[in-house]
């Protein structure tokens, strides 16, 4: 349960830090200006990396690591965050960035002791320590830059990395690696919090501070998995787990070298640029790349114990097919021309009428806001035992939120948001973590209510609401994550703690999504949800302080 609590905490930290950092962006030069190579047309704050880094670092700092390896990861992440933020503010150029990357990777390799010794097709340790360390430095820096260069469309780099991290979290759990699972989950949480603001059209970019931290976490986890956590997996497995970004950056570098261009000067020939030039929309391009990445990482999980030849053949076949199709389409002059069927016109007209109906809007608002509020309250009211530290934390959170609201501070909406997030975590934890009630009928009824709420949210967001709530590529990631969790549940379900953790994270995702719908769409119902959260926190505080252990 601890690791999933870290995930939810990471999401909350990321989502809270970004709005605060947002206000600083204009004052410290972290604004991404449009140019011909970029897709966005208006200036956008380049501050999302602060939320990603905070979401990764803050939960891990609570674990009091003493071993060099996890400490080296924390220090390396902090180093890349500092250099990345410096570059986002001052545009340092590629050489200072390389210095920061080499420094961060060197900390992990030489102090943490994480480096490559196994190679594909060779049994046993094939490299000397020095050769392995140098190869690891080169490979990890390459992954950092691959993720950095894939950050070209809203949500693209974050989504690709998220898909890889989901697979790595599963493999870390299977290998019994606490460090691998913890790092993967806090990185996932940092991304989820960031995507709240980065879905198309993005309000925040991650910048180098975010992309380099994500690339570093991904490289760290892949090397740790293959070289330390589970040496039974194929030594070629990193290709499938890292997926498209590695192939894309190599293809771009090849084209630059072939054309006599500067290797380090940004160009418009990445896969996402080529899809846009073929007529695909922003949404379609992102979803196509997500889908390709999802196939690769899923194959990585399924073929983790396959031969190195099988892994390499599958990876290079998939990559070759993708680039061949792109090349054929470009040479033939093919362009995507969407067809509008008559049935779609009728469906669009029905959607317009549905969105215009005040009764439909009110009905969905009442059901969603009421259901989320009721589920939070029910979960805390039926909890037989509340730990004392929960009571203290809930009391402090409730008092702080009420003080901000009473004082009518300009950031009272943020305070209520924090109170709501904290309440969701407490409510779901207390519901699912109580061993004596984990399989009781009320919990099953609660689960059925969560499923019904998920369906209602999906219908509202997709068909009823006239306002945007995230982009559909993020919905795609959520669907993939749910499918991955179901697969994870097949493994986790072998023991009660794994099944409890699965329920915790599934319930949390739905309630968080519901809270975001209320906050983002149903402004008149924010006070209702906030009042329910404050009441639930008060219940947790009273129970924890009076009866907690």
pLDDT tens digits for 418-457?
778 778 878 877 777 654 444 455 667 777 888 888 888 8
Question: Average pLDDT for residues 65-72, to the nearest whole number?
Answer: 93
Is pLDDT above 50 for 127? yes
Question: Average pLDDT for residues 492-505, to the nearest whole number?
Answer: 54
Q: How far apart are alpha carbons 148 and 138 in whole angstroms?
A: 15
Is pLDDT above 60 for 231? yes
Question: Average pLDDT for residues 5-10, to the nearest whole number?
Answer: 79
> Of the ranges 153-167, 207-221, 261-275, which one carries the lowest mean pLDDT score?
261-275
Strand, helix or coil at 502? helix
Is pLDDT above 80 for 378? yes
Pairing of strands 31-32, 44-45: antiparallel
Q: 193 or 217: whose pLDDT is higher?
A: 217
Question: Average pLDDT for residues 21-36, to the nearest whole number?
Answer: 75
Instruction: List Cβ neighbours of 209 (8 Å cut-off, separation of 6 or more).
Output: 49, 50, 52, 53, 80, 81, 84, 85, 87, 88
Q: How far apart are alpha carbons 11 and 370 in whole angstroms?
A: 24
Is pLDDT above 60 for 340? no
Question: Average pLDDT for residues 178-190, to the nearest whole number?
Answer: 92
> Of the ranges 123-137, 228-242, 309-323, 463-477, which one carries the lowest mean pLDDT score?
463-477
Q: 65 or 338: whose pLDDT is higher?
A: 65
User: What pLDDT shows up at residue 90?
Assistant: 83
Closest CA to 55 of 13, 16, 6, 4: 13
- The full length of the chain comes to 549
Query: pLDDT class for 487, splitting at 50, 70, 90?
Result: low
Question: Average pLDDT for residues 209-223, to the nearest whole number?
Answer: 95
Closest CA to 250 of 301, 182, 323: 323
Is pLDDT above 80 for 416? no
Q: How far apart are alpha carbons 172 and 303 in whole angstroms?
A: 15
| Residues forming a β-bridge with 31 | 45
User: What pLDDT shows up at residue 366?
Assistant: 83
Q: 516 or 264: whose pLDDT is higher?
A: 516
User: What pLDDT shows up at residue 494?
Assistant: 47
Query: pLDDT class for 385, splitting at 50, 70, 90?
Result: confident
Highest mean pLDDT out of 81-85, 218-222, 520-524: 218-222
Is pLDDT above 70 for 43? yes
The radius of gyration of the chain's CA atoms, rounded to the nearest angstrom, is: 24
Residue with tokens 């986790």: 492
Residue with tokens 């090397």: 223
Percent of the chain with pLDDT over 70: 78
> Of the ranges 76-80, 332-336, 348-352, which one carries the lowest mean pLDDT score?
348-352
Are 165 and 221 in contact by the 8 Å Cβ rule? The answer is: yes
Give Cα 274 distance to the centre of its chain. Answer: 25
Highest mean pLDDT out of 217-226, 267-276, 285-294: 217-226
Question: Average pLDDT for residues 94-111, to the nearest whole number?
Answer: 93
Q: How far apart are alpha carbons 326 and 322 in whole angstroms?
A: 6
Percent of the chain with pLDDT over 90: 30
**Average per-residue pLDDT for the chain:** 81
Q: How far apart are alpha carbons 194 and 211 in whole angstroms?
A: 12
User: What pLDDT shows up at residue 257?
Assistant: 77
User: What pLDDT shows up at residue 469?
Assistant: 44
Question: Average pLDDT for residues 512-524, to the nearest whole number?
Answer: 73
Closest CA to 277 of 41, 39, 43: 39
Are 22 and 32 in contact by the 8 Å Cβ rule? The answer is: no
Are 419 and 368 in contact by the 8 Å Cβ rule? The answer is: no
Q: How far apart are alpha carbons 427 and 537 in whole angstroms?
A: 9
Strand, helix or coil at 123? coil
Q: How far apart are alpha carbons 119 and 139 in whole angstroms?
A: 13
Instruction: List Cβ neighbours of 481 (8 Å cut-off, separation of 6 or more).
Output: 162, 166, 509
Q: 353 or 289: whose pLDDT is higher?
A: 289
Closest CA to 267 of 244, 251, 247, 286: 251
Instruction: List Cβ neighbours of 120 (8 Å cut-off, separation of 6 or more).
Output: 234, 235, 236, 308, 311, 312
Q: In sequence order, which ranges of 48-149 are alpha helices (DSSP H)?
A: 48-61, 68-90, 94-106, 129-149
The angle subtended at Cα 413 by Cα 410 and Cα 416, nearest 5°, is 130
Is the pTM value of this prediction over 0.85? no
The angle subtended at Cα 472 by Cα 469 and Cα 477, nearest 5°, is 110
User: What pLDDT shows up at residue 440?
Assistant: 52
Question: Average pLDDT for residues 336-350, to the nearest whole number?
Answer: 60
Query: pLDDT class for 466, splitting at 50, 70, 90?
Result: low
Strand, helix or coil at 153? coil
Question: Average pLDDT for residues 3-24, to the nearest whole number?
Answer: 81
């Amino acid at each position: 349960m601890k690791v999933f609590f870290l995930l939810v905490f990471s999401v909350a930290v990321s989502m809270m830090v970004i709005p605060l950092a947002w206000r600083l962006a204009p004052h410290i030069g972290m604004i991404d200006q449009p140019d011909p190579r970029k897709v966005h047309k208006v200036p956008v704050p380049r501050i999302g990396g602060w939320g990603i880094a905070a979401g990764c670092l803050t939960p891990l700092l609570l674990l009091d690591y003493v071993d060099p390896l996890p400490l080296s990861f924390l220090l390396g992440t902090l180093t890349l965050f500092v250099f990345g933020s410096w570059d986002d503010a001052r545009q340092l150029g590629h050489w200072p960035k390389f210095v920061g990357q080499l420094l961060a990777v060197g900390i992990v390799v030489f102090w943490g002791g994480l480096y490559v010794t196994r190679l594909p097709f060779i049994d046993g340790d094939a490299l000397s320590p020095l050769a392995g360390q140098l190869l690891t430095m080169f490979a990890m820096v390459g992954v950092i830059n691959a993720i950095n260069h894939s950050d070209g469309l809203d949500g693209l780099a974050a989504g690709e990395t998220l898909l890889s991290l989901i697979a790595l979290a599963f493999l870390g759990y299977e290998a019994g690696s606490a460090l691998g699972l913890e790092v993967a989950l806090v990185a996932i949480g940092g991304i989820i919090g960031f995507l709240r603001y980065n879905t198309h059209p993005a309000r925040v970019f991650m910048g180098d501070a975010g992309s380099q931290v994500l690339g570093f976490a991904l490289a760290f986890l892949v090397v740790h998995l293959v070289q330390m956590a589970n040496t039974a997996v194929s030594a070629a497995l990193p290709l499938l787990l890292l997926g498209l970004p590695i192939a894309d950056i190599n293809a771009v570098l090849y084209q630059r070298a072939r054309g006599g261009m500067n290797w380090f000067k940004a160009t418009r020939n990445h896969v996402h640029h080529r899809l846009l030039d073929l007529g695909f929309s922003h949404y379609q391009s992102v979803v196509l790349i997500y889908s390709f990445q999802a196939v690769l990482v899923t194959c990585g999980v399924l073929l983790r114990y396959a031969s190195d030849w099988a892994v390499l053949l599958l990876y290079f076949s998939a990559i070759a097919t993708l680039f061949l199709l792109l090349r054929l389409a470009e040479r033939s002059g093919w362009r995507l021309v969407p067809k509008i069927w008559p049935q779609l016109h009728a469906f669009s007209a029905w959607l317009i009428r549905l969105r215009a109906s005040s009764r439909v809007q009110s009905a969905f608002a009442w059901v969603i806001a009421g259901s989320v509020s009721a589920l939070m309250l029910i979960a805390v009211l039926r909890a037989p035992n509340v730990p004392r530290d929960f009571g203290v934390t809930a009391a402090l959170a409730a008092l702080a939120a009420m003080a901000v609201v009473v004082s009518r501070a300009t950031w009272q909406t943020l305070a209520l948001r924090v109170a709501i997030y904290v309440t969701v975590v407490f409510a779901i934890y207390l519901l699912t973590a109580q061993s004596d009630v984990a399989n009781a009928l009320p919990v099953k009824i609660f689960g059925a209510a969560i499923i019904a709420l998920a369906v209602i949210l999906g219908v509202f967001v997709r068909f009823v609401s006239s306002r945007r709530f995230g982009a559909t590529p993020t919905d795609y990631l959520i669907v993939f994550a749910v499918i991955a969790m179901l697969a994870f549940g097949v493994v986790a379900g072998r023991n009660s703690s794994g099944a409890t953790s699965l329920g915790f994270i599934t319930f949390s995702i739905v309630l968080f999504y519901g809270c975001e719908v209320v906050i983002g769409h149903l402004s008149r119902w924010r006070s209702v949800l906030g009042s329910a959260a404050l009441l639930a926190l008060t219940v947790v505080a009273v129970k924890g302080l009076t009866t907690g252990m």
